[in-house]
């Protein structure tokens, strides 16, 4: 059991490091532009299949840039902007592009001043001497020249996309990659960080890993330990202590993950994930009830022990089912690479296979034990005095 625990710790650490580390491959270096236009710097933005190219001209204090959004359609708008106040939507000075109902691309500037902007053309806090856009091969590219003051050369960047209906730009979704499309940019040094470098995204990843390992792996593992080890008399009371250790560890780690989720919610006004949040609160309450159940556990021969067992098993299996459901809700929100969801599905399949095999073996042991107890004299011969062959 100690080896399994260490394997889970190593798995969670590996998961954290991989989720928190951006890929070193740069697709942007192979992208080309009309008239063989070249830019000094480029970066692959982590979310929404987007890329940023730019050149800073120190002589006149301008940034010549191109924002490319791939895999989009003519019925969706694309936007990129910078926000001196931080990596958030409100305060962003944005460049927006879309294809109108006549099939003509349009680009304009807009200052985002609320969580529900109208995305109408407005002036920015800095000058934009040049702005244009193209749409071809399912790629929207915004070209611009920005005259940015020195105190904004190192700033936050935000990019986004959403639907267009009857030439009206509709609100974007508030989950998955649309919540990861933020980071930082230094036009002078060429350094850029997408959402993977944002502390909020790291907290989201930590939240996901903690809850997956605790509620989604340790909890089922603890239940398997209790159900199948206690059948063997030689494992009593070792199975109980292993069960308590596993479930207690899961609860402590799970509460830490739950607390990070509450903090993320408080730091994200206007963004709600009601099903995920509700199930998370229920899990915390049920988990806490299980801790108190341990303190109130009656003796084996107590008249209320049967009712305690019903309560304990009902809450326990409910926690496992809700945990798995909520973890997949979290995958939909966090929107990591597909391999992480496949890894977790593989772990569930493995635990399910182990539980199935142990269930069959447990029934075999129980049935055999009942038959032995039903015919105790068969152990000592036909006459019960050891005279049989």
Question: Residues annotated as binding site?
Answer: 207, 243, 276, 312
Bridge partners (DSSP) listed for residue 96: 79, 108
d(CA 215, CA 322): 9
Of the candidates 129, 145, 109, which has an alpha carbon nearest to the alpha carbon of residue 37? 145
Dihedral, CA of residue 295, residue 299, residue 303 and residue 306, to nearest 10: 70
Reported as type and span, the H/E element at residue 143 is strand 139-147
Q: Are 110 and 120 in contact (CB under 8 A)?
A: yes
What string of DSSP letters covers 367-383?
Answer: HHHHHHHH-GGGGG-TT
d(CA 65, CA 58): 14
The dihedral of CA 270, 274, 278, 280: what is its sign? negative
CA atoms within 13 A on the CB side of 161: 24
Peptide linkage before 237 cis (omega within 30 of 0): yes
Q: Is 45 helix (H, G, I), strand (E, B) or coil?
A: strand
Is 246 exposed, middle or buried (CB count within 10 Å of its CB: 0-12, 13-18, 19+)? buried
**How do strand 105-111 and strand 139-147 relate by DSSP bridges?**
unpaired
> If you count them, how many residues does the chain have?
389
Reported as type and span, the H/E element at residue 312 is helix 305-334
Of the candidates 313, 320, 319, which has an alpha carbon nearest to the alpha carbon of residue 352? 320
Of the candidates 199, 190, 188, which has an alpha carbon nearest to the alpha carbon of residue 150? 188
Phi, psi of 169 (to 5 degrees): -80, 120
Bridge partners (DSSP) listed for residue 81: 94, 158
Question: Residues annotated as binding site for heme b?
Answer: 207, 243, 276, 312
CA atoms within 13 A on the CB side of 386: 0
d(CA 21, CA 6): 23
């Amino acid at each position: 059991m100690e080896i399994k625990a260490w394997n889970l710790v190593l798995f969670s650490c590996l998961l954290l490091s991989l989720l928190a580390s951006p890929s070193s491959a740069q697709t942007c270096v192979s992208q080309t532009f009309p008239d063989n236009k070249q830019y000094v710097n480029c970066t692959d933005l982590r979310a929404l299949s987007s890329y940023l190219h730019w050149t800073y001209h120190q002589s006149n204090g301008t940034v010549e840039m191109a924002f490319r959004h791939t895999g989009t359609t003519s019925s969706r708008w694309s936007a990129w902007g910078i926000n001196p106040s931080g990596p958030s939507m409100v305060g962003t000075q944005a460049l927006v592009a879309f294809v109108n109902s006549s099939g003509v691309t349009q680009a304009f500037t807009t200052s985002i001043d609320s969580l529900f902007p109208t995305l109408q053309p407005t002036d920015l806090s800095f000058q934009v001497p040049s702005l244009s856009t193209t749409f071809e091969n399912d790629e929207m590219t915004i070209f611009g020249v920005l005259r940015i003051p020195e105190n904004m050369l190192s700033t936050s960047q935000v990019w986004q996309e959403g639907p267009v209906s009857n030439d009206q730009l509709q609100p974007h979704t508030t989950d998955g990659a649309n919540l990861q499309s933020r980071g930082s940019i230094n036009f002078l040094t060429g350094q850029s960080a997408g959402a993977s470098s944002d502390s909020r995204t790291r907290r989201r990843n930590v939240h996901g890993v903690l809850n997956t390992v605790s509620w989604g792996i340790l909890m089922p593992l603890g239940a398997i330990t209790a159900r199948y080890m206690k059948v063997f008399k030689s494992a009593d009371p070792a199975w109980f202590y292993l069960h308590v250790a596993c479930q207690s560890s899961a609860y402590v780690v799970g509460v830490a993950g739950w607390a990070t989720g509450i903090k993320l919610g408080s730091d994200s006004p206007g963004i709600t994930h009601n099903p995920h949040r509700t199930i998370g609160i229920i899990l915390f309450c049920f988990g806490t009830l299980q801790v108190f159940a341990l303190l109130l556990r009656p003796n084996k021969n107590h008249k209320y022990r049967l009712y305690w067992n019903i309560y304990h098993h009902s809450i326990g299996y409910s926690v496992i089912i809700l945990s798995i459901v909520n973890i997949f809700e979290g995958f939909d929100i966090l929107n990591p690479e597909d391999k992480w969801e496949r890894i977790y599905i593989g772990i569930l399949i493995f635990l399910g296979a182990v539980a199935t095999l142990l269930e069959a073996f447990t029934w075999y042991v129980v049935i055999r034990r009942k038959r032995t107890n039903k015919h105790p004299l068969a152990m000592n011969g036909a006459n019960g005095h050891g005279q049989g062959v």
